[in-house]
Every structure is written in structure tokens, then in C-alpha cells.
Amino acid sequence: MTLKLEVTKRAGGTLNYAERVQAGDQYFDVTVTCRRASASRSIPKTRVYVHAPNPEDVGGMAKPEYTTRGDDPENDKRWRQYNWQEIKVMRLFADAVLEDACKALGVTELGVIHFSRKAGCSCGCSPGFVARKGRGWNVWVDVELVEKK
């Protein structure tokens, strides 16, 4: 699974970690970026935001057609399945790298992370995962397909 491991520290306290992950016959560069969360009164729970490929790009179901919710219950069902697969793909990539990344970067234990549509904002514009135990970090997991040569 691991082909490349690279840990870098950048100015401003941002920590970076990159690893190449194989999924099926495709390779992805997965970069983990950690930054201290700003604390006002209490230290917030650690959040993990994952930017992953679409399900159809990694062997999952095709993206359903856009219809108005309620117009076509069968298509609504397909969208629920698709959204569920999106979360599953995010979690797969996060699980593949997070433990090693956090260890390498010295970021405190995350424990179990659970998905929340409102992880980053109460309006739902930035879904992500919220750590059960870890506190004080914002973590971004960016997944990029490595072009086949």
C-alpha cells in the first residue's frame, strides 16, 4: 500500500504528510494537512475534512441524474445510495492514512471519527468527520489521482 512517505513542516505551524495509496489498479497521492484549530473558550473537537474522488471514479455507482427531490422517489433513493457511497469513499481514504499521518505529525489521537454534515459549519456547507477523542486540530485529507504513465 505505501509507496511513498514524506513528512514536511511548513511555516505557520501547518503540518504536512503525503502517502501514495493504491485502490484497485489506480494510485492516489493522499496529502494530510494539519493545522491547530483556533480556540475561543474551549478547545474544539478535531475535525477531518476529506476531499476524495467520486464513487464512480473508484468503482462505485454512477452519479444519478439531477431531479427535484420528491418528483422521483426511485431517483431519490439512488441519490441516498450515492451520498452514502461518497461518505464511504471519504472514510476509506481517511482510514488508509490518518493513523500513520497523525503519528508522524505528532497530532494527538483522533479515536473514532464520525461523519457530520455540519462538521465545519452549522449550515451544512462543509461536511466532514468529527473526532470522538482528539481535540484542537483541523485536518484536511486531499486525494489526487496519479496519472497513469
Nearest 5°: the CA angle 89, 18, 117 is: 35
Cβ nearer to Zn ion, comparing 31 with 138: 138
Give the list of residues 6+ apart from residue 69 with CB closer than 8 angstroms, or none.
Answer: 76, 79
Task: Check binding of 123 to Zn ion (CB under 5 A).
Answer: yes
- Residue 121: CB minimum distance to Zn ion, A: 3
Q: What nine digits make up the cell of 127?
A: 461536511
Cβ nearer to Zn ion, comparing 11 with 125: 125
Binding-site size, Zn ion (CB under 5 A): 3
Phi, psi angle pair for 73, to nearest 5°: -55, -35
Cβ nearer to Zn ion, comparing 117 with 135: 117
Nearest 5°: the CA angle 146, 51, 81 is: 105
Task: Check binding of 125 to Zn ion (CB under 5 A).
Answer: yes
Window of 5-13, 70-78, 86-94, 116-124 that interacts with Zn ion by CB under 5 A? 116-124
Task: Check binding of 121 to Zn ion (CB under 5 A).
Answer: yes
Burial class, 66, CB count within 10 angstroms (exposed 0-12 / middle 13-18 / buried 19+): exposed
Task: Check binding of 118 to Zn ion (CB under 5 A).
Answer: no
Binding site for Zn ion (CB under 5 A): 121, 123, 125
